Amino acid sequence: MLITQVDFMSPFYDECVRLRYDILRAPLKLNFEVEQLEKEYIDYHIACYDLHFNLMGCMVLTPQGVDKIKMRQVAVDEKYQRHGIGKKMTVYAEELSSELGFSIMYCHARKTAVPFYAKMGYKEVGKPFKEVNIPHMKMEKQIKH
């Protein structure tokens, strides 16, 4: 397994956007707006491949000020879910973010994914809210001490 950063607008990034669409958007009958993707030049894009270079999962990290970074668009291909890929990508993202100088990682977790983030040490913050029409919870973790 290889977990690595990929460049915005590269063919690798395009493949991640397709996976994000399949896993996170299509089931909700939503698409990506061009304006949403245009803003992603500022983000860190992380991809996870198997030994044959098949994309298994990806995520996006968006800096929020000097201390905080948001983990979002976490998607593992259905075939590979519950095989530890989300966990390994999260550990990679936390190490990278810590090296970059961020001290807090947070996410807007879909209700269905809250137990996954809880296992990764994320704590619920505030009350549930709706985003893309489904229930979410803000979850946060200190990644640097």
Ligand X SMILES: CC(C)(COP(=O)(O)OP(=O)(O)OC[C@H]1O[C@@H](n2cnc3c(N)ncnc32)[C@H](O)[C@@H]1OP(=O)(O)O)[C@@H](O)C(=O)NCCC(=O)NCCS
Three-class SS of 34-99:
HHHHHHHHHCEEEEEECCCCCEEEEEEEEEECCCEEEEEEEEECHHHCCCCHHHHHHHHHHHHHHH
Residue 93 is a binding residue for ligand X (CB under 6 A): no
* 97 in Cβ contact with 65 (< 8 Å): no
The CB-of-86 to ligand X minimum distance in angstroms stands at: 2
Residue 83 is a binding residue for ligand X (CB under 6 A): yes
Site pattern 15..54 for ligand X (x: CB under 6 A): --------xx------------------------------
Residue 71 is a binding residue for ligand X (CB under 6 A): no
d(CA 70, CA 94): 10
Query: Running DSSP on this structure, what letter comes out for residue 31?
Result: -
Which residue in the set 18, 39, 111, 119 belongs to the binding site for ligand X (CB under 6 A)?
119
In this chain, which stretch among 33-41, 62-70, 78-86, 127-135 interacts with ligand X, using CB under 6 A?
78-86
Kind plus residue range of the DSSP H or E element containing 9 = none
Residues that bind ligand X (CB under 6 A): 23-24, 74-76, 81-87, 109-110, 112-113, 115-116, 119
